[in-house]
Amino acid sequence: MSLPRTEEVSNAETALDRLDAAGALSRMIEVQSAAIESLRHATGDLEAAAQLVAAALSGTGRLVYAAAGSSGLMALADAAELPGTFGIAQERILVRMAGGVPAD
């Protein structure tokens, strides 16, 4: 069974530890730039998703994050910023993490 492209290990990163600091940093910047560039192909889908979230939050809807591992921690960080940045009431933001939300 083959993995989706987004889950494959890139051959370019397997030797990252063998590069000097400048080479490693350069490679990390390259792959981050490629990731950002790939979003251009998804602009329509991202816009549609943003509009759905905005519509839900302009009414009585909620924003629910479902995640695990480091993605869950990023969801927690994002959720923590929303009330102060966008004025969204904390009780309208739910984070569901595999194994539960860390308490400490």
Domain boundaries in the chain?
1-61, 62-104
Question: Is 0.85 topped by the overall pTM?
Answer: no
- Per residue in 87-104, pLDDT (tens digit) is 999 999 999 998 888 776
Alpha-carbon separation of residue 40 from 24, 33, 34, 35, 58 (angstroms): 26, 12, 10, 10, 27
Dump pLDDT digits (tens) for 70-89: 899 999 999 999 999 999 99
